[in-house]
Amino acid sequence: MTTYAGCPRRYVLGLGCERGTDWNDVRMLAERALHEVGIGSEQLLAVVSIDTRIDEPAILEVATHFRLPVRFFNVAALERETPRLKNPSELVFAHVGCHGVAEAAALAAAGADAELVLPKIKSAFATAAIVRIG
């Protein structure tokens, strides 16, 4: 586990968004997620999402804003997390081929002992979820 100024980085922020979503909308959703969990961005290890968003400016800008690495997962890796999702979605499955992006990416990044501490929350065009590592 990495620490920052004595504070352990034990959380992963999963994000999903529609193409072309304004980065400020995604940032505000991410900040709302942090507030709901009661943590600061200094406790995050990474921002994660689906690999079809590898070049999505909003997700990349949020990672840069929080000074965090960003990691992307393919559909197969995200779909493997379906049994652990709190909010699986048939609509998301129909669009991208997995039952969730924000929750699934965070769980995939954090590993088998991870706990979903903030199930998916939504804005008009984005989703966010937070996972705590063991």
pLDDT tens digits along 33-42: 999 999 999 9
- Classified as helix, coil or strand, 28 is helix
Average the pLDDT over 70-83 and give the result: 98
Strands 11-17, 126-132: pairing is antiparallel
Q: Residue 50 pairs with which residues in a beta bridge?
A: 73
pTM for the full predicted model = 0.93
Domains of the chain are: 2-132 (3.30.420.180)
Q: What is the pLDDT of residue 6?
A: 55
